[in-house]
């Protein structure tokens, strides 16, 4: 990569035994990759995507430059992997939280409660999701849009799935997108004024906004 020295063959990864050891190579690689992903989230949240370098990531993760390039093509590749891993964990937790929960309002509340808890537990990723991803290039923006699409699908499908067969039909995609957009705006405002740790306080507001939009159909403008 421009501005980066060639990978060094002599750097030793701290945190792993020096010399001969009996660790499974796959476990070693997994540990190195996990440390790199965690370092990427921490460094990008602290300094922004543009200012973060591969040198920063290998320093924070405590691995060699050679190991970095064995695992990832470049900084963007590593960043996207970190984003994907965290977004999958968040959306997976929200989906799992709906198991056994019935009724539209209860499922909406459970979704937002879990979302806010997960984001509060991942403050650096939350910073990236709400702010930094938009600055990290088109691939990162597509990743964020993909995560938001999962939210649209959850609202349309999972929230409705727990209701009775004769209940109201699932919300339109337009209504679901309006809920996701309102949720993003409220998350950004809350984080900027009260901090990530207090995101669970936002659950009642998010639930109220979603309920209002679910009861008021949103139609697409005519072509």
| Contact in structure between 81 and 72 (CB atoms under 8 Å) | yes
Confidence of residue 112 (pLDDT cuts 50, 70, 90): very high
Query: Is the predicted pLDDT of residue 220 greater than 80, yes or no?
Result: no
Which residue reads 């009642």 in tokens? 204
Neighbour-count burial for 43-81, b at 16+ CB within 10 Å, e otherwise: bbbeeebeebebebbbebbbbbbbbbbebbeebeebbbb
- Number of Cα atoms under 13 Å in the Cβ half of residue 215: 9
Query: Is the predicted pLDDT of residue 79 greater than 60, yes or no?
Result: yes
Q: What angle do CA 122, 148, 100 make, to 5 degrees?
A: 75
Confidence of residue 51 (pLDDT cuts 50, 70, 90): very high
29-43, 58-72, 139-153, 194-208, range with the lowest pLDDT: 139-153
Query: Is the predicted pLDDT of residue 117 greater than 70, yes or no?
Result: yes
Confidence of residue 28 (pLDDT cuts 50, 70, 90): confident
Domains present along the chain, CATH in parentheses: 25-74 (1.10.10), 76-215 (1.10.357)
pLDDT averaged over every residue in the chain:
83
Confidence of residue 196 (pLDDT cuts 50, 70, 90): very high
Mean pLDDT of 110-114: 94
CA dist., res. 147 & res. 105, Å (int): 22
The percent of residues in the chain predicted with pLDDT above 70, rounded, is: 80
User: Which DSSP letter does residue 133 get?
Assistant: G
Does the predicted model carry a pTM greater than 0.95?
no
| More confident of the two residues 91 and 136 | 91
Query: Is the predicted pLDDT of residue 181 greater than 80, yes or no?
Result: yes
Residue 108 parent element (H or E)? helix 104-121
pLDDT tens-digit readout, 7-16: 333 333 445 5
Mean pLDDT of 158-187: 76
Query: Is the predicted pLDDT of residue 166 greater than 60, yes or no?
Result: no
């Amino acid at each position: 990569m421009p501005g980066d020295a060639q990978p060094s063959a002599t750097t030793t990864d701290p945190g792993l035994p020096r010399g001969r050891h009996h660790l499974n190579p796959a476990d070693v690689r997994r540990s190195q990759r996990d440390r790199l992903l965690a370092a990427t989230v921490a460094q990008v949240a602290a300094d922004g995507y543009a200012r973060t370098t591969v040198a920063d990531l290998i320093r924070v993760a405590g691995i060699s430059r050679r190991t970095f390039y064995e695992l990832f093509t470049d900084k963007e590749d590593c960043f996207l992997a970190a984003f994907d891993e965290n977004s999958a964990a968040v959306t997976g937790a929200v989906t799992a939280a709906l198991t056994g929960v019935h009724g539209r309002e209860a499922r909406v509340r459970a979704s937002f409660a879990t979302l806010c808890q997960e984001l509060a537990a991942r403050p650096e990723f939350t910073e990236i999701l709400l702010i930094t991803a938009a600055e990290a290039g088109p691939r990162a923006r597509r990743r964020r849009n993909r995560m938001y699409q999962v939210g649209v699908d959850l609202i349309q499908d999972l929230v409705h799935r727990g209701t009775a067969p004769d209940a109201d039909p699932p919300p339109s995609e337009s209504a679901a997108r309006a809920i996701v957009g309102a949720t993003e705006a409220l998350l950004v405002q809350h984080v900027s004024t009260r901090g990530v740790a207090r995101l669970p306080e936002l659950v009642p507001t998010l639930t109220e906004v979603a309920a209002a939009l679910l009861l008021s159909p949103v139609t697409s403008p005519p072509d």
